[in-house]
Amino acid sequence: MFNDSVYKQIHGCAMRSPVSPVVANLCMEVIEESAIAVPITPPKVWKRYVDDSFVIIKEHSVSKFHDTLNAVDPKISFTIETENNGQISFLDTLITRKNGAVTIGVYRKPTHTDRYLDFNSHHELKHKISTASTLLNRALNLPSTAEGIRNELTHVSNALKSNGYPSATISNILKKKSTSEVIPSPEELVGMFFKWTDPPDSQNGFAVLPYIKGVTEPLTRILNNNGIRATTRPVKTLQQEFASPKSRPPSDRQTNVVYKIPCADCTWNYIGETGRCLHTRKKEHIRNTKVFKSGSNIASHAWLEGHTIDFENARVIDRGNSRVRKTLQLQPSQADNNGFFLYKLLVVKVLLRLLYFYLQTFNTRYNQSNYLIKCLCCLHSTLRHFTSKTGLVLQN
C-alpha cells in the first residue's frame, strides 16, 4: 500500500518473506553457472553470499563478463565495484592487495560511529554481553594477520569502553574466547541439530516478558524452574519511537489498540482496550451511553454525573497484542501525577496475567508447585496494596 493505493508485485520476491532468500539463492546459482559457462576469460575466484559476489578476474575481461551476467535475465541487473588503491570491501570484510599478497580485515563504512548498545542502558545483561562478545569474536577471527587482529582488538576495546563497558567485562570475554574450542565431527553436528529442533519434554511452554530490571529476572528464574522457557524483550524499541515510512490506515481504523475517551465537562477519562479498531468500539460506547447500558463505565459517568462524553476527541494511545492490552480507568486527580507509577503497576498486572495464563494452561503440573503459587499470591497481594493506596481501579 502506498498513498492509499494497493499495488500487486508481479516480479521478484516479497520483502521479509522467509522463502525469498532461498529463491534468490537458487536464481543466483542459475545466473552464475550460465555466465561462467560462456567461452570468455572465466573469473579466477568467485565467492558469493546471496546476491553479493566477490570476483577476481582479468581487468580486460570485466566489461564482457558484466554484460554476460546482465544478459541472462533482462529484469535482473548487476552493478560492479572495482578496487580502489588496492582495496575493496565485501560484506563486512576489507580485502587488501599489496605486493602480490591478499590480506583480510574488518570493513567499516565512512559513516560508522562505533555506537553500540550502551552498558548503562535498560537492557538485560546478557544482551550487552552478547554485543561485546560478537564484536570481539569478529576481531579475533576475521583479520587474516596477527597485526590485523591486534589492531582490531584495540579498536573494539576502545569502542566498547566508550559505550560504558567495564574493562573487566571485556577481559573476561577475551579470556573465554582464548580457550581452544573443540570442533565437533559431522555426526555430532547432526545430533546437535536435532537437539536444537526437538525441544525437551521438560519444556512445557514459552513466554516473552517485558524487561523491567529487578522484576523480570526472578520471574524468568521461576518460569524456567517450572518448565517454561522465558526470554525478554525491551519495553521500547527504536522502531516504535520513529514513524514508519509505509502508508498505514488511520489510527482509529487500526486493530489491537489501547484508547482514551475524555469527558467534555471534567477531567475524567476512560482508558480501554480492544482487539478491534477504535472506530467500531466507539460506536458501541455511543450506543451504550444512549441506553445507559448496565456495566458500562462511560454510560454510568455520563448519566450519574450529568456530563457529556467527548467522543469526537477519542484517540488511540498505544497498541499491543492481547496479553499486554489492559483496561485502566483513572480518577481525575491521578491522571497526570501517577504516570510512572501507573506504568509500573501496568507491568505488574501484565506479569500477573502471564503467570495466571500458564497456571491455567499447565494446572496439572503447577498444582504441585507451591512456590510458584506463593509468588503469584504475593504479586497479587502487592498489586491490591498499590491499588488501595492510590485509588486506582483496574478492570479485567
DSSP class per residue in 83-115: -BTTEEEETTEEEEEETTEEEEEE---TT----
C-alpha cell at 314: 477519542
Quick one: 240 and 254 in the same domain? no
Q: Is residue 152 domain-shared with residue 75, that is, in the same domain?
A: no
Cβ of 389: how many Cβ atoms within 10 Å? 9
pLDDT of residue 349: 55
48 shares a domain with 14: yes
Question: Please, what sign has the CA dihedral across residues 127, 131, 133, 134?
Answer: positive
Q: What is the pLDDT of residue 318?
A: 78
Residues 221 and 296 in one domain: no
Counting Cβ atoms within 10 Å, is residue 190 exposed (0-12), middle (13-18) or buried (19+)?
Answer: exposed
Task: Note whether residue 389 is domain-resident.
Answer: yes
Tell me, yes or no, whether 161 and 134 share the same domain: yes
Separation CA 380–CA 394 (nearest Å): 13
- The reply to whether 26 and 144 lie within a common domain is no
CB atoms within 10 A of CB 298: 21
Do 351 and 231 fall into the same domain? yes
For residue 114, the model assigns a pLDDT of: 92
290 lies in some domain: yes
**Cross-strand partners of 47:** 54
Distance CA 143, CA 153 (A): 10
Q: What is the pLDDT of residue 324?
A: 52
Residue 190 is assigned to a structural domain of this protein: no
Q: How many domains does the chain have?
A: 4
Quote the DSSP letter at residue 44: S
Q: Does some domain include residue 189?
A: no
Residues in the chain, pLDDT under 70? 1-2, 4, 39, 179-184, 186-187, 189-190, 193-204, 247, 321-396
Classify residue 110: in a domain, yes or no: no
Longest CA span, the chain? 89
Residue 387 is assigned to a structural domain of this protein: yes
Q: Are residues 4 and 71 in the same domain?
A: yes
Please answer whether residues 298 and 327 qualify as being in contact, where contact means their C-beta atoms are separated by less than 8 angstroms.
no
Domain boundary among the residues 293, 325, 357 is at 325
Co-location of 265 and 155 in the same domain: no
Q: Is 372:230 a contact under the CB 8 Å cutoff?
A: no
Q: Where are the beta strands (DSSP E) in the chain?
A: 45-49, 52-56, 87-90, 93-98, 101-106, 205-210, 228-233, 257-262, 269-274, 315-319, 327-330, 393-395
State the residue range of the domain holding 388. 204-245+332-396
User: Is residue 278 in a domain?
Assistant: yes
**Same domain? 234 vs 256:** no
**Is position 289 within any domain?**
yes
DSSP state of 368: T
Q: What is the pLDDT of residue 30?
A: 87
Angstrom distance (rounded) from CA 356 to CA 379: 11
> Are 272 and 317 in a shared domain?
yes
Give the span between the Cα atoms of 312 and 347, in whole angstroms: 30
Of 273, 293, 325, the position where a domain reaches its end is: 325
Do 236 and 362 fall within a single domain? yes
**Last residue of one domain, picked from the residues 285, 309, 325:** 325
